[in-house]
Amino acid sequence: MDPGRFTQVDATTWRVDPWGAMRVPAIIYADENLIRDMDNKVYDQAVNVATLPGIVQACYAMPDAHWGYGFPIGGVAAFDPDRGGVVSAGGVGFDISCGVRTMLTGLAVADVLSVQKSLADSLYHQIPAGLGSRGAITLDALEMDAMLIGGARWAVERGWGEARDLERIEEEGCMAGAQPDWVSERAKERQRREMGTLGSGNHYFEIQAVAAIYDLAVADVFGLVQDEVVVTIHCGSRGLGHQIGTEYLREMLVAAKEAGIELPDRELACAPINSEVGRRYLGAMRAAINCALANREILGHFARRIFAHFFPNCDLRLLFDVSHNTCKVEPHIVDGRRRELFVHRKGATRAFGPGHESLPAALRMVGQPVLIGGSMGTGSYVLVGEATSEAKAFSSACHGAGRALSRHAALKQWSGRQTVDDLEKEGILIRSPSMRGVAEEAPGAYKDIGAVVAAAEHAGLARRVARLRPLICLKG
């Protein structure tokens, strides 16, 4: 879009001053090239979100922002319940608590390269991936509720994970306030056989090499070492989260109307936080957060099982596990006053800076690991939260490269088989049940992740620590 539509504040800050029904400004953090490549829809959607009741400070878009359902993907918006603030299913996203975890292996790249192909095949055969994939775990009604309340803690109690993981997971692996009773039977039924599965779309299970270190001191605290191998898992709450999103979106259309909220776009359906539907959604959404945390913990357990087969002395340690599709109650300073806000992050990663009380002791001094998933070919980044992000975007950062081309456009431009062959020549092994999915996820369909994280760093959202290069990628 045309940068001229904004008031440029600095090289990576672009503001839309309130006009029309906007209650607060809209602010996009990106460099000029990213703004030029960004769809006009991001502007429209950020402006629309800024009209919602109870929104505080500003509506933000991250450098990887693109068009989404109602809210932009890469959007951050915080609402004050005491000022009529709302909660919106479209502001969280359909894949509730979709997120990323990175595990340290301590292995050298050479160790993995010596078994690269058989390791790739093993992942493909042992990790259920793809649309409608089902796992070895089936939950009855009692276990479903226990999982929705316990999250990763539940997984650890059942032997699918390790207790030491929990302090390295957002909410220590267990989101409080989950209400399984407010999750429909249909949502639970869809999830009954989907625990420990990857899903499809942009979800992946990757074995990566630490390709570059930007901040040696923080990398040392994180345990990231040049040319060592890590495992990164990107997935969410599968069918359960999607079903909850679908059902509450419909309810919120009615709730918004009843509350007299003017919606500039039906897709912004929302309910007052202090309303029956709002409270029910929050309880169900928190249950879905636990589902995603449990799912990633189980997949981490599978990673350990597979690595133990190839490398008997290998010990996989969790660096961190963080979601990028949530609504969280957090204290933030607004207008010099501490307020409890409902922070929607949709395709935006929580990025707490140094000293934050929720971080484990081993990380508190440096800040939260901010895990940024890239595309299959171009790799990923680990950033660290910055104190400045609190005032810039309620302690949030980008979540990935962000799509540059639609799935449809990508399908027209690339073939899945050719993409796999091209990446194999670069030493990257792709395994996927869907060649169509691989084509949709071709590296060229994504923005330049290097430019995205550089812009995030310049804007003071988070700082680069390391770049990760894929060696093996299991795609859903």
Partner DNA sequence: ATGTTC
Which of the ranges 12-20, 166-174, 182-190, 456-464 carries the binding residues for DNA, by CB under 7 A? Answer: 182-190
Nearer to DNA, 246 or 274 (CB): 246
Among 9, 11, 131, 391, the residue binding DNA under the rule CB under 7 A is 131
109 vs 118: CA distance, rounded Å:
15
Report if residue 200 touches DNA, rule: CB under 7 A.
yes
Nearer to DNA, 168 or 344 (CB): 344
147 vs 127: CA distance, rounded Å:
20
Answer positive or negative: Cα dihedral of 306, 311, 315, 320.
negative
DSSP 163: G
Nearest to 70 by CA among 253, 260, 243: 253
The verdict on whether 399 is a catalytic residue reads yes
Nearer to DNA, 190 or 447 (CB): 190
Q: Which residues of 415-444 are buried (b: 16+ CB within 10 A; e: fewer)?
A: ebeebbebbeeeebbbbbbbbebbbbbbbe
What is the longest distance spanned by two Cα atoms in the chain?
63
| 326 strand-pairing partners | 345
CA distances from residue 213 to 111, 328, 416 in whole angstroms, order as listed:
20, 31, 31
Shortest approach of DNA to residue 276 CB, angstroms? 22
163 vs 252: CA distance, rounded Å:
38
Nearer to DNA, 295 or 389 (CB): 295
Nearer to DNA, 12 or 237 (CB): 237
Two structure tokens written together for 11: 């090289």
Which of the ranges 91-99, 114-122, 156-164, 417-425 carries the binding residues for DNA, by CB under 7 A? Answer: 91-99
Binding residues for DNA restricted to 218-257, rule: CB under 7 A: 235-236, 238-239, 242-243
Q: Is 435 flagged in the annotation as binding?
A: no
Active-site residue, from 332, 344, 399, 458: 399
360 vs 272: CA distance, rounded Å:
33
Total chain residues near DNA (CB under 7 A): 21
Report if residue 402 touches DNA, rule: CB under 7 A.
no
Q: Are strands 204-213 and 337-346 parallel, antiparallel or unpaired?
A: unpaired
Among 199, 272, 443, 460, the residue binding DNA under the rule CB under 7 A is 199
Report if residue 194 touches DNA, rule: CB under 7 A.
yes
Report if residue 431 touches DNA, rule: CB under 7 A.
no
Shortest approach of DNA to residue 66 CB, angstroms? 10
Please provide the distance, in angstroms rounded to a whole number, between the alpha carbons at the two ends of the chain.
Answer: 32
Q: Is 395 flagged in the annotation as binding?
A: no
Q: Which residue has the tokens 């879009």?
A: 1
203 vs 184: CA distance, rounded Å:
25
Contact pattern for DNA over residues 370 through 389, marking x by CB under 7 A: --------------------
- Binding-site members are 95, 202-206, 234, 324-325, 373-376, 380, 399-402, 475
Instruction: Give the catalytic positions in this structure.
Output: 399
- Binding-site members for Mn(2+) are 95, 203, 234, 324
Judged by the rule CB under 7 A, the positions of this chain that interact with DNA are: 94-95, 98, 131-132, 186, 189-190, 194, 199-203, 235-236, 238-239, 242-243, 476
